[in-house]
Amino acid sequence: MSLTVVGSIAFDAVTTPFGSREKMLGGSAVHFSLASSFFTDVRVVGPVGDDFGEAEYAVLRNRGVITDDIEHVPGGETFFWRGHYEYDLNTAHTDDTRLNVFGDFAPKLSDASRESDVLFLANIQPDLQREVREQMPDAKFVALDSMNLWIDIARDSLLKTIEGVDCVLLNDAEIRMLTRKPNLVQAARELRAIGPKVVVAKQGEYGAALLTEEGYFGLPAYPLETVNDPTGAGDSFAGGFVGYLAATGGEDLSHETLCRAMAYGTAIASYNVEEFGTERVSRLTRDEITARVGELQKITNFVDEPIALRA
Amino acid sequence: MSLTVVGSIAFDAVTTPFGSREKMLGGSAVHFSLASSFFTDVRVVGPVGDDFGEAEYAVLRNRGVITDDIEHVPGGETFFWRGHYEYDLNTAHTDDTRLNVFGDFAPKLSDASRESDVLFLANIQPDLQREVREQMPDAKFVALDSMNLWIDIARDSLLKTIEGVDCVLLNDAEIRMLTRKPNLVQAARELRAIGPKVVVAKQGEYGAALLTEEGYFGLPAYPLETVNDPTGAGDSFAGGFVGYLAATGGEDLSHETLCRAMAYGTAIASYNVEEFGTERVSRLTRDEITARVGELQKITNFVDEPIALRA
């Protein structure tokens, strides 16, 4: 079972109340592929410039990520994002965005990446997402992320793209914004009605919710004492979630399997935010993931004991 | 096992995107006592004016709430709050507050209410909360709620009051504001260090978190399609939570029992928001509570299945 992810590869400059980095490896496709690399073969598709060197490739390859489909644009510079967070780590404030080579990105999928069973469309322009999706008509499972910008300026295109995927992963505020429905249960049903069977609402520090025809599953985030940088948390979550589904074949969308996938996504995202950028996930171990999934089970589990309530 | 709650008894005028009510029964002590009435004998202490009549008493008495300690102030008017909510139902916007008889409230506890084993100090001025607490030195379990206003203008008094209670229930933003610590795990530890063994962070539509020395428990809110009025949700949660602990003796603060208490609080709060004010909880049944606790267990439960992760 193999997985292709198409999205941004970036350098990030990030300042949080707990530190800063001037130029660190980032981008949705990077965070996603590092997280999903624990589950399956991952091919990452995205453009980089001349400033993207061996050190950056090494971070991906050390986790077994297949980098053959990274497109090097000679003379170009890699997508650059500068942002900061206040104490409310749920909100990223963008200070500078330089699209660079990402501005002309027209995803070219190699034969090998087209043959993957699972496809993740990280947050890029929805027309491009749709083009990629159409290049992989036989994919068993296709999931998509997006952002408020595209809901604002390309809502119709995004909805059209969503029609063709199996799973949507968005922030809960984005799901409301996209559907124009304030109620999440209703909003998710509306999204399912146009195509995807699985809707995942990411809720930042509060965790994530799964909304399918079969049921609802709510999973709080893992409680951390040290959160240094939330950049990439959503993509790490998606990488764990989609990676887990890929590892189990990409066609088992039973409630139980989806719930487990939520737990793996949550576990890896919780490691991601402990340090800056890819620092923590790039040296994460299998045992650490397994341990945190176990912890998540423990901190969300309760057993009711019948009690005599009063009429 | 009996429970005394001291707090506001009010008339509320509320407008939400889904309807409005011009004058409905409300107040923290009312919502709390209706919720806790499913678990134990509840005595409600608070002031009302001449406008508080048989219809209002009946709502409380129909649920078995003991109203002997409601103080009727002749010639006075009951506390009145007018507010509205936008589509973001997490934030109440206050349009008018008339303290009326509540402005001069000096809680007088009857012998009977002083003899309760469990005390809930709903959101009132923290000096008053402390006076009440001191009138019940033998209480087995004392819990407290507060609000951003008191953190702003009476922080030292509130902290002093917190020193003398077993449990604090606050919104997560209030816990951060009170402790001046952005990290919830650290903030809760700081509160526990000055007295209370149990800290509950209410998170609105996202649920609630329990933070004790023994561990962490996160419980998402019950997903609803219909939320008409969130007024009183926090007090209904507290009523279910503290009521459950009172029913189990008020001295069993084991992790398992606290987690179950969280589930009962969450279940009752979820009914509260389905309709306006006390409308839904005043006709709630035991079976409905039990059913929703079961649902909560189902939608938060996952079972990990060992999977071969890649090194």
Has residue A228 got a pLDDT over 90?
yes
Length of chain A: 311
Has residue A36 got a pLDDT over 90?
yes
pLDDT of the residue at A269: 98
**Using CB atoms and an 8 Å cut-off, which of residues 272-301 of chain A contact chain B?**
285-286, 289-290, 293-294, 297-301
pLDDT of the residue at A132: 97
Residue B105 Cα, gap to closest chain A Cα (Å):
31
**Cβ within 8 Å of residue B179, ≥6 positions away:** B186, B187, B190, B191
Residue type, B72: H
Say if residues A21 and A277 touch (Cβ distance below 8 Å). yes
Share the mean pLDDT of chain A: 96
Q: Which chain A residues have a beta carbon less than 8 Å from that of B289?
A: 309
Q: Kindly state whether B208 is in contact with chain A, defined as any CB-CB distance less than 8 angstroms.
A: no
Of chain A, the percentage scoring pLDDT greater than 70 comes to 100
Has residue A12 got a pLDDT over 90?
yes
Chain B: residue whose CA lies nearest to A243: B309
**Is the four-CA dihedral B55, B60, B62, B64 of positive or negative sign?**
negative
Contact B185/A225, CB-based, under 8 Å? Answer: yes
Q: Which residues of B231-241 are buried (b: 16+ CB within 10 A; e: fewer)?
A: bbbbbbbbbbb
Q: Kindly state whether B19 is in contact with chain A, defined as any CB-CB distance less than 8 angstroms.
A: no
Of chain B, the percentage scoring pLDDT greater than 90 comes to 95
For A310, the closest of B64, B290, B300 (CB atoms) is: B64
Q: Which chain B residues have a beta carbon less than 8 Å from that of A297?
A: 302-304
A260, A302, A304: which to substitute to probe chain B, counting the most B Cβ within 10 Å? A302
Has residue A144 got a pLDDT over 90?
yes
Nearest to B129 by CA among B248, B5, B287: B5
Which tokens is A199 given? 């809707």
Q: Kindly state whether A17 is in contact with chain B, defined as any CB-CB distance less than 8 angstroms.
A: yes
Q: Kindly state whether A95 is in contact with chain B, defined as any CB-CB distance less than 8 angstroms.
A: no
What ipTM was predicted for this assembly? 0.94
Residues B77, A138: Cα–Cα separation, whole Å = 71
**Cβ within 8 Å of residue A283, ≥6 positions away:** none
Q: Kindly state whether A203 is in contact with chain B, defined as any CB-CB distance less than 8 angstroms.
A: yes
Residue A182 Cα, gap to closest chain B Cα (Å):
6
Q: What is the dihedral of CA B255, B261, B263, B264, to 10 degrees?
A: 170
Residue with tokens 């934030």: B91
Instruction: List phi, psi (to 5°) of A102.
Output: -70, -20
Burial of A91 (0-12, 13-18, 19+ CB in 10 A): exposed
Has residue A187 got a pLDDT over 90?
yes
Confidence of residue A250 (pLDDT cuts 50, 70, 90): confident
Single pTM value for the model = 0.96
Say if residues B181 and B190 touch (Cβ distance below 8 Å). yes
- Over residues A46-71, the pLDDT tens digits come to 999 999 999 999 999 999 999 999 99
Looking at domain B2-299, its CATH class is alpha beta
Q: Which chain B residues have a beta carbon less than 8 Å from that of A206?
A: 203, 206-207
pLDDT of the residue at B293: 98
> What residue ranges in B27-134 does DSSP mark as E strands?
41-48, 70-72, 79-85, 92-98, 118-121
Residues B278, B265: Cα–Cα separation, whole Å = 15
- Over residues A62-98, the pLDDT tens digits come to 999 999 999 999 999 999 999 999 988 888 999 999 9
Contact A306/B290, CB-based, under 8 Å? Answer: yes
Say if residues B7 and B121 touch (Cβ distance below 8 Å). yes
Query: Within chain B, which residues score under 50 in pLDDT?
Result: none
Residue type, B289: I
Query: Under CATH, which number does the domain A2-300 receive?
Result: 3.40.1190.20
Chain A: residue whose CA lies nearest to B255: A302
Residue A99 Cα, gap to closest chain B Cα (Å):
33
pLDDT of the residue at A108: 86
Mind giving me the DSSP string for chain A?
A: -EEEEE---EEEEEEETTEEEEEEEE-HHHHHHHHHTTTSEEEEEEEE-TT--HHHHHHHHTTT-B-TTEEE-TT---EEEEEEE-S-TT-EEEEEEE-GGGGG------HHHHT-SEEEE-SS-HHHHHHHHHH-TT-SEEEE---HHHHHH-HHHHHHHHHT-SEEEEEHHHHHHHHT-S-HHHHHHHHHHTS-SEEEEE-GGG-EEEEESS-EEEEPPPP-S-----TTHHHHHHHHHHHHHHHTTS----HHHHHHHHHHHHHHHHHHTTSSTTTTGGG--HHHHHHHHHHHHHHH-----------
**Using CB atoms and an 8 Å cut-off, which of residues 99-158 of chain B contact chain A?**
none
Contact B307/A263, CB-based, under 8 Å? Answer: no
**Cβ within 8 Å of residue A287, ≥6 positions away:** none
Chain A: residue whose CA lies nearest to B262: A302
Q: Which chain A residues have a beta carbon less than 8 Å from that of B262?
A: 302
Instruction: List phi, psi (to 5°) of B87.
Output: -60, -30
For B310, the closest of A38, A185, A259 (CB atoms) is: A38
pLDDT of the residue at B87: 87
Has residue A119 got a pLDDT over 90?
yes
Q: Which residues of A208-224 are buried (b: 16+ CB within 10 A; e: fewer)?
A: bbbbbeeebbbbbbbbb
Of chain A, the percentage scoring pLDDT greater than 90 comes to 95
Residue type, B161: T
The domain segmentation of chain A, as residue ranges, is 2-300
**Helices and strands in chain B: count of H runs, count of E runs:** 11, 13
Q: Please state whether beta strands A41-48 and A92-98 pair in parallel, antiparallel, or not at all (unpaired).
A: unpaired
Instruction: List phi, psi (to 5°) of B73.
Output: -100, 105
Residue B101 Cα, gap to closest chain A Cα (Å):
32
Q: Which chain B residues have a beta carbon less than 8 Å from that of A39?
A: 307, 309-310
